[in-house]
Chains A and B, each alone.
Chain A
């Protein structure tokens, strides 16, 4: 059964200022996110991730283009959409003088179901080990983040929009968060998650979009992104590096980023291993390690001008 499109973005752009001071925060974004997937929206600070999210939530208005969530236009049906969406901002600000419990009650009352939602909130808070009786001003940044997650998830939304969700969370809570995301996906729900932490996207997302300077550079499944044809090769010789090996390595079109340190050589290999093994045969290889490229390597490859990951 084909899954339904939850987020559909068409030619979305956002510019700020006017005349010579005009700057584009996002250019001609086209993207769709399907039901039941966790979509990672990757990019460094200032790439346009938060701008996209704030437009999806109708907090700021597009300069051009359109977007729909659950088949409804983000501007015309924002209230209906927000009923089914949970949101965690990147820089979470809450009412400082109120306790977690009071804020949960407030948000639940605006959502129109105080009893059911607060019960679910209590369960999430317990799971995240969050004390909701404290005032927001007395919470650490990590605990504020936990409260933000509770507020985003407590009404069982069909779509979660999370901006840098694990910022400030300790590793144990991050693990719990990953489990919660898996459970969320298992229920057929959708997550749109922005992050600059590649390992996080790699660990929990099904697909990722890579954003740079307001342009979407690529959208691929995590599996496919990981399946690029290069490896990191780390060779440890018993004796010194064989004479002439450095020249041979640097002369090869399939080898790059060569780093020789004593009797150790590190390099990036694109293509087959055989030519490299022949070059290494002049020395006694004590140890040889091959590492898959991380998403960070792929990310950097996309970002390096004139050289894109294959």
Chain B
């Protein structure tokens, strides 16, 4: 029956989704509650004293005015380089699509049923994508709760854009993880490669940001993290070409995974 793998995957995942979502929402809540404790002009003055490389490493560009607002403070405190934290959940979910089931041996049971390999991957991918949406919604609710408790003036719509921008980013990371796991088969090897990929992306983005205006600046564009910049989103709202880029690349990665998985032996 169409949707049965999706449904079961979701049933097996919803608790983790809630745990992750509540944890990240608590972090967001904390950052919002800290807003009244700071004078944003002081924050801006403080930031100006830091060398650009340090600011680049925590995801702050040269437009410091943005970060001297309440929204900017939250974006810096929560969304800045914590993009690396947001990478963990999709990596865990991406590993579950094939690698964990093959490692555990349950994939043999599943694929002995009347179901195509492609259907298993697509339904699991969709189920985990829905769980990513769930995590992001919980983060947003945490932030909203903080606004209500602290009674601060915050552009909620702008923060919503920064928050929901996480969805294409996290789905992309999950798609990368899935493809690597499909290619290398072994869970431990796949995990090592994905971790290296995320760390290398972080380093490339930082180098690109620090080297702004030099010949080395384009290096940053290789990193996927360059296309999730809280400051840019606060200034411009949704950057649709970047979102479309994440969606298209994720779709290509999904298709590549389907192709490769159809061709290879199921590991035990």
Contact = CB atoms under 8 A, between A and B. Distances in A.
Contacts of A79: 114-116
A112 B112 CA distance: 14
A16 to B, nearest CB: 9
Interface stretch (B4-12, B37-45, B73-81, B162-170): B4-12
B109 A151 contact: yes
Interface stretch (A52-60, A246-254, A278-286): A52-60
B265 A110 contact: no
A94 B106 contact: yes
Contacts of A106: 4, 8
Interface in B70-116: 104-106, 108-116
A61 interface: yes
Contact of A61 (B105, B265, B268): B265
Contacts of A102: 11
Contacts of B57: none
Given A59-B266, A151-B109, A111 B104 contact: no
A238 interface: no
A80 B115 CA distance: 9
Contact of B266 (A60, A85, A92, A93): A60
Contacts of A151: 109
B1 interface: yes
A114 B1 CA distance: 9
B125 to A, nearest CB: 17
Interface string A55-93: 001111100000000000000001110110101010111
A98 B108 CA distance: 17
Looking at chain A, what size class is its interface with the partner chain? 20 to 34
Contacts of A110: 1, 4-5, 110, 113-115
Contacts of B108: 54, 57, 59, 89, 93
A273 interface: no
A85 B8 CA distance: 22
Contact of B112 (A85, A91, A96, A109): A85
Nearest to B104: A93
A179 to B, nearest CB: 24
A110 B6 CA distance: 10
B41 to A, nearest CB: 52
B105 A89 contact: yes
Interface in B1-55: 1, 4-5, 7-8, 11-12
A107 interface: yes
Contacts of A85: 112
A97 interface: yes
Given A79-B115, A95-B12, A59 B109 contact: no
Contacts of A111: 1, 113-114
Given A59-B265, A94-B106, A109-B1, A87 B112 contact: yes
A110 B120 CA distance: 10
Interface string B115-133: 1100000000000000000
A96 to B, nearest CB: 8
Given A60-B265, A60-B266, A91-B105, A112 B111 contact: no
Contacts of B8: 106, 109
Interface in B179-211: none
Contact of A98 (B12, B105, B114): B12
Contacts of A54: 108, 266, 268
A83 B112 CA distance: 9
Nearest to B107: A59
A59 B115 CA distance: 12
Interface string A202-218: 00000000000000000
B73 to A, nearest CB: 40
Nearest to A83: B114
B16 to A, nearest CB: 11
Contact of A95 (B106, B114, B266): B106
Nearest to A50: B268
Contact of B113 (A82, A93, A95): A82
Contact of A82 (B4, B5, B104, B114): B114
A276 to B, nearest CB: 51
Contacts of B266: 54, 59-60
B112 A93 contact: no
Contacts of A109: 1, 4, 7-8
A197 B268 CA distance: 23
Contacts of B104: 93, 96
A57 B265 CA distance: 11
Nearest to A59: B266
Contacts of B111: 57-59
Which 9 pairs across A and B sit closest by C-beta, in order of nearness?
A93-B105, A60-B265, A109-B4, A87-B112, A83-B114, A82-B114, A59-B266, A110-B113, A112-B1
Interface of A: 54, 57-61, 78-80, 82-83, 85, 87, 89, 91-98, 102, 106-107, 109-112, 114, 151
6 contacts: A54-B108, A59-B112, A82-B112, A107-B109, A109-B8, A110-B114
Given A87-B109, A93-B106, A106-B4, 15 more contacts: A59-B108, A59-B265, A60-B265, A61-B264, A61-B265, A82-B114, A83-B114, A92-B105, A93-B108, A93-B109, A96-B104, A109-B8, A110-B4, A110-B110, A112-B114
